[in-house]
Amino acid sequence: MKLSAHSQQPIGVFDSGVGGLTVLKTLMEHWPHENFVYFGDTARLPYGTKSPETIYKYSMQIIGYLRQHPVKAIVIACNTASSHCIEPFIENIPLFNVIEPGSRAAIKSSLNKRIGLLGTRATLLSQSYQKKIKTLDPSAKVFGQACPLFVPLAEEGLIDDPMTDLAAYRYIQPLLQEKVDTIILGCTHYPILKKAIQKVAGPSITLIESGEALSLWIKETMDQGALAQNTSSSENRKVEILSTDGGEHFQNLALQILDVTDFSSKNILYRMVDLSG
């Protein structure tokens, strides 16, 4: 595979809103020399309740935008979008999704091969995790549960709240009855609510986030020579955050998720973009 992009070009990361920032945070920690550009489609979120055609159209518009940025690789940090775009390369640059690494990590973690999957309605309907896990281990059983209220609860920042506890109880109880030992947080918003989810699931259940496993996949791709690693100083690393709808609410949540007091302290730039023109 010929490298089609320069090592100093950023890695593009996109999501429908703030959820993918949980993935960006993990990637920033694992790859301190890499530049990143994050794209949150907040003007059209959420994706998880929309049709496959609409999700695919929006994803392709964002991938097109990031290609022109230009980026050297694209991470689809949104399970819903990942479920509808699982090609490994697009126009010669690597395209990472969160289904593949999440599935691998779940298989590795589960002892009884009974795996719970929390996701949006669209992710569950796409059967993307179920198909991927069956390919990796035909004996594994996946029990899916749609969690349509988790995204608005996370977007509202209701991290430690009785409403979130009630929703978590409702969504996780059926999985516990199926005796799962591992639960995939199949939406990048869900790690924001991890504490409430773990409280209901109990300490013996392993929760799978895709960020860690995704970092490993990126490393493998670099080792195979299909993605150039940036070797510039980490002090000069730049992170750009873009969103299609602005507002203080988004920026405040972004600060909270990335765990920084202000963007400038980490060389992070924020700006709003308009995809429609």
Q: Which is nearer to its own copies, 32 or 152 (by Cβ)? A: 152
Helix and strand totals (H; E) in the chain: 11, 11
Determine, following the binding rule CB under 8 A, whether residue 155 of this chain makes contact with its own copies.
yes
Identify the residue among 108, 160, 247, 264 touching its own copies (CB under 8 A).
247
Is the Cβ–Cβ distance between 45 and 247 less than 8 Å? no
The C-alpha angle with vertex 39 and arms to 36 and 127, in degrees rounded to 5, equals 105
Interaction with its own copies in 37-96: which residues (CB under 8 A)? 42-44, 49-51, 53-54, 57
Interaction with its own copies in 159-178: which residues (CB under 8 A)? 162-163, 166-167, 170
Determine, following the binding rule CB under 8 A, whether residue 121 of this chain makes contact with its own copies.
yes
Question: What's the order of all strands across the beta sheet hosting 11-15?
Answer: 89-90, 93-96, 73-76, 11-15, 36-40, 239-243, 268-272
Q: Which is nearer to its own copies, 89 or 169 (by Cβ)? A: 169
Q: Which is nearer to its own copies, 79 or 103 (by Cβ)? A: 79
Q: Which is nearer to its own copies, 166 or 222 (by Cβ)? A: 166
Handedness of CA 154, 156, 159, 164 (dihedral sign): negative
Q: Give me the active site residues, please.
A: 78, 187
On the 0-12 / 13-18 / 19+ scale of CB atoms within 10 A, 39 is buried
Determine, following the binding rule CB under 8 A, whether residue 276 of this chain makes contact with its own copies.
yes
Question: What's the closest the beta carbon of residue 205 comes to its own copies, in angstroms?
Answer: 23
Handedness of CA 268, 269, 271, 273 (dihedral sign): negative
The residues binding its own copies (CB under 8 A) are 42-44, 49-51, 53-54, 57, 121, 148-149, 151-153, 155-156, 162-163, 166-167, 170, 244-247, 249, 276
